[in-house]
Amino acid sequence: MKYINKFSSPLGQITMASDGKNLTGLWFDGQKYDRLGLDKDYQEKNLDIFVITKRWLDIYFKGQNPDFKPQIKLYTTDFRKEVYSILEKIPYGQTTTYTKIAQCLSNNKERKKVFARPVGGALGHNPISIIIPCHRVLGKDRSLTGYAGGMERKIKLLELENISINKSK
């Protein structure tokens, strides 16, 4: 059984999903790929993992860096898991680029060269927004690029972390 719960953020309603123990999804309602992978058979319930996630989100939206993370389980491809693992290492208040993530993945000798486009595809399908911080990824020239939750939200999330951005690019 899959479970969901809601969180009202300053940037809009968020739906969280769980397998009963782990956080498996976190989406802004109406975003691109909203609830992708969530079974149609789910129940709304207040689980411990949702209480922990809401506490994390409350701290985050107050402009602070939470010192803990909800337990996450990703139901996705191995490639996307590798991309998300790199995202989780981007420190609060800092950014990286799609190209740098691709270069990091290309350092794996068991794989052919990875390009920025498939990295972008993985980020667009990130099932756990904000906590797996795909909003911290910028274009090669540090330009703002797509965000499944919408560009206005990406800008607000970056500003919340005191990341200076050039909105005119």
Cβ atoms 65, 93 nearer than 8 A: yes
Catalytic residue among 83, 134, 148, 160: 134
* Residue spans of beta strands (DSSP E) within 89-153: 96-97, 137-138
Whole-number Å distance between alpha carbons of 140 and 109: 24
**Residue 134 annotated in active site:** yes
In Å, how far are 23, 58, 136, 153 from 10, measured between CA atoms?
21, 10, 18, 10
Which of the residues are catalytic?
134
